[in-house]
């Protein structure tokens, strides 16, 4: 098997923004006298905005539309970004590896354009990806395979030739449903997830198992010199 392209999830996979999402969701619910729980966090992890905020409405009986809740939450998120966030272990090393071997890479995230653009801007990483697909580019969110099927088309590869890096159950299922090669990276926020859809589970983005999959054989790569 030859991997010819890599699709990255973003939150919790590239950046430690799960804590930022926790703060924003907690602030949203606290305004209404409710508490954001680990169980609710696990239920929405990796899901698109409509799913998340409709679940909030159903769980707590909120009168606002899911779009109104989303907008309020996004404002909190952008505010809490000022507290700082870091890249996840191995991200920069993996990007350098992919660029050395001229392997194309894209982002496939359930977040919205405004949030994605701001996160990437703050880490000066937007130009290092061939494309970015967000919640606004799809009609069906993860675990539906739509976002990864779009990525396959953009890359111009066969499904099994695209490696997908994920940190959520829904995301790994979406990659598997698309026929891609799902890899899950474990971190503090996703311990105990049901990652049976993953072909490989590792502890960092520059794990040797990932780098080995993404190191072409001498006869079929054009590494930078």
Domain harbouring 166, CATH code: 3.40.50.1000
Contact 53, 71 (CB under 8 A): no
Last residue of a domain, one of 49, 65, 83: 83
In tens, the pLDDT along 52-83 reads: 999 999 999 999 999 999 999 999 999 999 99
Contact 27, 76 (CB under 8 A): yes
Count Cβ atoms below 10 Å from residue 161 Cβ, excluding itself. 17
Count Cβ atoms below 10 Å from residue 23 Cβ, excluding itself. 17
Helices 49-60 and 66-80: angle between axes, nearest 10 degrees: 110
Last residue of a domain, one of 83, 113, 136: 83
Nearest to 180 by CA among 194, 167, 199, 195: 199
Residues 27 and 76 in one domain: yes
Residues 99 and 202 in one domain: yes
Average pLDDT score over residue span 79-107: 96
Boundaries of domain holding 93: 5-16+86-220
Residues 76 and 90 in one domain: no
Instruction: Enter the pTM of the model.
Output: 0.88
Residues 73 and 172 in one domain: no
pLDDT of residue 225: 46
Average pLDDT score over residue span 123-130: 96
């Amino acid at each position: 098997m030859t991997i010819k392209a890599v699709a990255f999830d973003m939150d919790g996979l590239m950046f430690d923004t799960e804590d930022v999402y926790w703060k924003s969701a907690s602030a949203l619910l606290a305004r209404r006298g409710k508490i954001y729980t680990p169980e609710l966090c696990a239920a929405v992890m990796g899901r698109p905005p409509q799913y998340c905020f409709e679940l909030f409405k159903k769980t707590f009986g909120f009168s606002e539309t899911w779009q109104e809740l989303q907008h309020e939450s996004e404002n909190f998120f952008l505010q809490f970004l000022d507290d700082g966030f870091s890249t996840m272990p191995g991200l920069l090393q993996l990007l350098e590896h992919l660029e050395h071997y001229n392997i194309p890479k894209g982002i496939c995230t359930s977040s919205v354009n405004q949030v994605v653009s701001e996160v990437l801007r703050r880490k000066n990483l937007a130009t290092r990806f061939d494309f970015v697909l967000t919640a606004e580019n799809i009609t069906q969110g993860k675990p539906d395979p739509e976002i990864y099927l779009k990525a396959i088309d953009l890359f111009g590869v066969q499904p099994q030739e695209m490696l997908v890096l994920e940190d959520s159950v829904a995301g790994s299922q979406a990659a598997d449903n698309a026929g891609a090669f799902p890899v899950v990276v474990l971190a503090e926020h996703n311990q105990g997830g049901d990652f049976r859809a993953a072909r490989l589970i590792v502890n960092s983005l520059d794990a040797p198992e990932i780098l080995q999959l993404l190191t072409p054989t001498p006869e079929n790569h054009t590494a930078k010199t």
